[in-house]
Amino acid sequence: RGSKIDTSRGVAFKNLDTYCVAPIVNGDSKPDTYDFWAVGINCCSSVAPDFRCGQYNNPSARSGIRLMRDDQRPFFRLAVQQAEAAFRLTAAHPLFFYWMQDPVAEMNEYRDDGFKYYLLGVFAFFVINMAGVICSAVGFSHLSK
């Protein structure tokens, strides 16, 4: 219940994009290892610890959706390594999350968007098939004359 982002320990790694990380802490405690990290892309400065990603300033935000993109994970890991060096932290097994208030609603939006694209695909397939059948019927009707 007391989870929050420690924005004072936010760090960025710059590649083509700026990969931003900040540790997720429980209250004011200082854990032995910082394994939970809030992440974002192009939402912080690469020169100062100013994490401004996701719903970082929402006091009701206490959770997130886990980063699943394998192509981004190494860059966030490099940012965590910079944070380890800069703030003398330990992050043995970092897990990355997009910080937000209601991850269930976000997942429901993903599901709804996926269903819309599915229906669009079905409709497009039907229209293309119908056009193919009509063209074939017209073409074959002219062959028999």
Q: Is the pLDDT of residue 89 over 80?
A: yes
What is the per-residue pLDDT across 92-130, written as a single tens digit (0 to 9) for each? 999 999 999 999 999 999 999 999 999 999 999 999 999
**Overall residue count recorded for the chain in this entry:** 145
Residue type, 29: S
Nearest of 37, 31, 33, 26 to residue 2 by alpha carbon: 26
pLDDT of 1 reads 60
Give residue 47's pLDDT. Answer: 80
> Please, how many CA atoms are within 13 Å of residue 11, restricted to the half-sphere of its CB?
20
On whether the CB atoms of residues 54 and 37 are closer than 8 A, the answer is no
pLDDT value for 96: 97
- pTM for the predicted model, two decimal places: 0.80
User: Residue 24: helix, strand or coil by DSSP?
Assistant: strand
Tracing tokens 């073409």 back to the chain, one arrives at 139
Residue 120: predicted pLDDT: 98
What are the backbone angles phi and psi of residue 64, rounded to the nearest 5°? Answer: -165, 175
Give the pLDDT confidence score for residue 100 in this predicted structure. 94
